[in-house]
Amino acid sequence: MLTIIGKPASINVRKVLWTCVELGLPFVRIDWREEHAALNPNRMMPVLVDAGFVLWESNAICRYLCAREGAGALLPLDPHARARVEQWMDWQATELNNAWRYAFMALVRNSPAHNDPVQIAASVERWNHHVGILDAHLAATGAWVAGEQFTLADIVLGLSLNRWSMTPMARPDYLNVAAWLARMAERPGYRAWCANGVP
């Protein structure tokens, strides 16, 4: 059975747990402990242990699980379709996450190191701008992030957009994002590990 190490408040852990639900994979989740530092030199979570095989970095874990199960629906085998999914996954991990980090730490985590109102406002503006990019893209696809079918791109972006919708800040009414989130609300994995009351 798969072991997933990391706390369920982490969106990076939750994207792996949601992927497991989509794939029908049983797993055991355990909290990070100091002895787990030997499994990841970055001392970050999640970490996946699969019969002695150890893997870290949440997007890499999600890709691995799809490859392990031959899940071409979540991560297409066609190079063009796969690249489209991975493009949005990488955008989430780099551009989008970097936009919201300061605002989230200030407004949700109440971090004393993130209390500059100018930087908070700038982070909120960048966050809303990036969600606007996704909203315009969803208007074009009319369905899911990578096209007509649900993929890993929807999972990783779903966690970030749930966080965006729950953070106490001003945000535009993005109708395409709202419709997309409503479609995802029909998925058990989304309800269990994304829209479960945790930003």
Instruction: Give residue 80's pLDDT.
Output: 96
Residue 44: pLDDT above 90? no
Q: Is 66 helix (H, G, I), strand (E, B) or coil?
A: helix
Residue 37: pLDDT above 90? no
Q: What would the pLDDT profile of 46-64 be if each residue is shown by its tens digit? A: 999 999 999 999 999 999 9
Phi and psi at 146, nearest 5°, equal -95, 5
Residue 105 sits in a domain of what CATH number?
1.20.1050.10
Residue 54 lies in a domain: yes
Q: What total number of domains does the chain contain?
A: 2
Domain co-membership, 84 together with 158: yes
Domain co-membership, 25 together with 119: no
């489209």: which residue's tokens? 84
Q: What would the pLDDT profile of 87-127 be if each residue is shown by its tens digit? A: 999 999 999 999 999 999 999 999 999 999 999 999 999 99
Residue 74 lies in a domain: no
Give the separation between CA 144 and CA 87, rounded to whole angstroms.
14
Give the separation between CA 83 and CA 25, rounded to whole angstroms.
24
Domain co-membership, 61 together with 42: yes
Domain co-membership, 59 together with 88: no
| Structure tokens belonging to residue 22 | 């989509």
Instruction: Give the β-pairing of 2-5 and 53-56.
Output: unpaired
State the DSSP code for 174: -
pLDDT > 70: percent of the chain = 100
pLDDT confidence bin for 71, thresholds 50/70/90:
confident
Domain boundary among the residues 34, 69, 104 is at 69
Q: What is the pTM for the complete model shown? A: 0.94
| Structure tokens belonging to residue 36 | 């787990």
Residue 157: pLDDT above 90? yes
Domain co-membership, 47 together with 124: no
Domain co-membership, 99 together with 187: yes
Domain co-membership, 44 together with 99: no
Q: How high does pLDDT run on average in the chain? A: 95
| Ramachandran quadrant class, 52 (left: phi over 0; alpha: psi -120 to 50; beta: rest) | left
Give the separation between CA 40 and CA 28, rounded to whole angstroms.
18
Q: Could you give the count of Cα atoms lying within 13 Å of 154 in the half-sphere of its Cβ?
A: 28
Q: What is the residue range of 165's domain? A: 79-191
